[in-house]
Structure 1
């Protein structure tokens, strides 16, 4: 039996146990009607629920100190309607539509995830980005890395980024990650349905750099050695990657820059960044994570037909133990990951994330980053606001500002250990 679409389930340690126990009783007795009644009772119980939860952490009053390691949080600009999404998914679609429909598929599964202070925000409202910047600065986030969408000169979801560019007093540095992949109906499980094709070419290599020029020139744009930082999400999709990078470097010189600092992510097992001419590789979890599937140890709903469930604690332990590759590698961490909102019956779930585990992973990542040259010590966090993937630092109703506080605590720990080592 499916949960009501969009039902705002309350995440309280007891409610999911009540739900699954009731459904099991109903199944044993054959009372299908009673199972529906149980779901209704849980919905009402949720609506009458009280916050904050035991895990809730209120907002901080003091920012952590600045350090030589900078935390860069990926920023998804999806939270506003655009004509393309209206056509593909229905009028007024944003990622919140997916977030609101999520439901748990096993006992203890944290879904749905309900936003806290910022609510189900619309990025067309200027005050939202201003508040996001204030919160990020309060907890020591050094920059946002906006996902950038470019398809042969056609741009999507550009409104929030362009608003950021035009609003000079949004005083948090920023950079861009070109999400250079084809869009398809992956969210609905039909990957063969292509919505918008990404075609790389020599001409497009030049065009995209010229299109990025106005962002690179902004004084807030993140630079390393005076060079604007650009991340490429799927470097392996280029026809001739070495030639593309050479074109970009020549074009940046023609535009008057001292160069460009190019980062490839480790998504889809990309490696060998130095061989292709990148300056650095950034880890992009959950890509590259190799830990056992724990689904068989859980009481999982029959509606689940695919995906994997892994332990977040296992991931954190494995990441701390792994060997670091050659060249400049920017460590990556994720506060959580669960794309049930986009794939309700076949999600990839990393179960059991807590602010403490995330903070331990981040602290380790910051220490790893210190191995990089001065000025190139970055840690990428996936993400600031990927609510549809369950990967966000923004406050929610269960934890409040706990993940942000864990980020600030990691900064303080790193600052203290660095001072002691000096």
Structure 2
């Protein structure tokens, strides 16, 4: 891609190559960062509707109310209502969020769970140009059969992949998988390699006229037994959230963080580790904080002190931006933030009555998206 505007190039042809080389060397001709260079997403946790199969609690907002600083600007909303979703999408668009990745659940009963927010997105009259994708939250050790996998892959292709709003990489729909390690384990239980299993999904998408599927595997910190090569079957990798560095240790040999400053260090260490190991795509993960107390304190209670203020969050985003720019081919300048609304884990950038839009303002400021 030629970065020099056409009207400037026409002038330079008349000035001669010596002038062009000098100007490039001085950086005069490189344009300022374009607003649409980055592709920034956010994970969406659909846990805020009462009495849902698979939900964290029958009345989840009741667990958050003792932490009034987390009350959303929208109040204790009824998640899944279309006006709520349209308001959230409008804010995402306004503050530079290009796509939303819905946590997606599939039970052993071969049915979707907690899909009310995603369905509200699909029914919304105005999605405010925010694309969507799904992240299969493959948390558990439940082992799916090959037939179940085929059913899941077909469901994704039929229900989501054909939609024009669906996020694509290299022209193919993107599916995030929460745990690459657990899917690898499931494939081995089936007597298959991960590449063979994912190839079945890829073929199902191809048969549906979708060109295949880009699978992005979620990984934990550092060395974890995951094959990052192109032969692995994965298109690329990312993470939902991380709790410490890839290789470093904190004071006393700790790996889990006890402050947001340590969390930011851990992410930077993980970014560098992944860039040096991943052969495919690396979607750069970011995190607004960690404080699990509403759901129950972390095993190390000090880990729940890993919470960002807006200034710290901005510095974290700036570091992620630098990583994207350092490896634009590998990262495709794509990043994903955890999370829009993980209020129970202390990971949220959705506007709240205490913090307002301060976290979203930092996203817009750093990534320069002007909608």
Normalised to the residue count of structure 1, the TM-score between the two structures is 0.67
Q: How does 1:382-421 map to 2 (within 5 A)?
A: 382-412=338-368
Is 2:64 the counterpart of 1:95? no
Q: Is the 8 A contact 2:150 2:201 kept in 1?
A: yes
Q: How does 1:117-156 map to 2 (within 5 A)?
A: 117-152=73-108, 153-156=110-113
**Alpha carbons of structure 1 residues 343 and 174: separation in structure 2 relative to 1, 3 Å:** same
Deviations 1:363-389 (A, max 9, x none): 221221231328932101010110000
Query: What is the CA-CA distance between 1:121 and the residue it aligns to?
Result: 1.2
- What SS does the aligned partner of 2:151 have? helix
Q: Is the 8 A contact 1:358 1:403 kept in 2?
A: yes
Query: What is the CA-CA distance between 1:223 and the residue it aligns to?
Result: 0.8
Please give the alpha-carbon distance, in whole angstroms, between the structure 1 residues aligned to 2:68 and 2:265.
Answer: 26
Q: Which runs of 5+ in 2 are unaligned?
A: 1-32, 188-193
Please give the alpha-carbon distance, in whole angstroms, between the structure 2 residues aligned to 1:353 and 1:345.
Answer: 17
Higher RCO (C-alpha 8 Å, min separation 6): 1
- What SS does the aligned partner of 1:310 have? coil
Q: How does 1:255-266 map to 2 (within 5 A)?
A: 255-266=208-219
| Structure 1 residue aligned with 2:24 | none
| Structure 1 residue aligned with 2:116 | 159
Query: What is the CA-CA distance between 1:362 and the residue it aligns to?
Result: 1.1
Q: Which runs of 5+ in 1 are unaligned?
A: 1-63, 102-110, 183-196, 296-306, 416-422
| Structure 2 residue aligned with 1:267 | 220
Query: What is the CA-CA distance between 1:308 and the residue it aligns to?
Result: 6.5
Please give the alpha-carbon distance, in whole angstroms, between the structure 2 residues aligned to 1:211 and 1:270.
Answer: 29
Deviations 1:296-339 (A, max 9, x none): xxxxxxxxxxx966111122234335443332211111111111
Is 2:274 the counterpart of 1:335? no
Please give the alpha-carbon distance, in whole angstroms, between the structure 2 residues aligned to 1:259 and 1:340.
Answer: 41
**Alpha carbons of structure 1 residues 132 and 312: separation in structure 2 relative to 1, 3 Å:** same
Please give the alpha-carbon distance, in whole angstroms, between the structure 1 residues aligned to 2:113 and 2:78.
Answer: 16
**Alpha carbons of structure 1 residues 65 and 167: separation in structure 2 relative to 1, 3 Å:** farther
* RMSD over aligned Cα atoms: 2.8
- What SS does the aligned partner of 2:126 have? coil
| Structure 2 residue aligned with 1:226 | 171
Please give the alpha-carbon distance, in whole angstroms, between the structure 1 residues aligned to 2:266 and 2:361.
Answer: 23
Normalised to the residue count of structure 2, the TM-score between the two structures is 0.76
| Structure 1 residue aligned with 2:21 | none
| Structure 2 residue aligned with 1:276 | 232
| Structure 1 residue aligned with 2:317 | 362
| Structure 1 residue aligned with 2:144 | 200
- What SS does the aligned partner of 1:169 have? coil
Query: What is the CA-CA distance between 1:273 and the residue it aligns to?
Result: 3.2
Is 2:123 the counterpart of 1:178? no
Deviations 1:117-176 (A, max 9, x none): 211111132211111011111110111000000124221111221221122422311000
Please give the alpha-carbon distance, in whole angstroms, between the structure 2 residues aligned to 1:379 and 1:345.
Answer: 27
Q: Is the 8 A contact 1:65 1:411 kept in 2?
A: no
| Structure 1 residue aligned with 2:42 | 73
Please give the alpha-carbon distance, in whole angstroms, between the structure 1 residues aligned to 2:307 and 2:199.
Answer: 44
Q: Is the 8 A contact 2:240 2:338 kept in 1?
A: yes
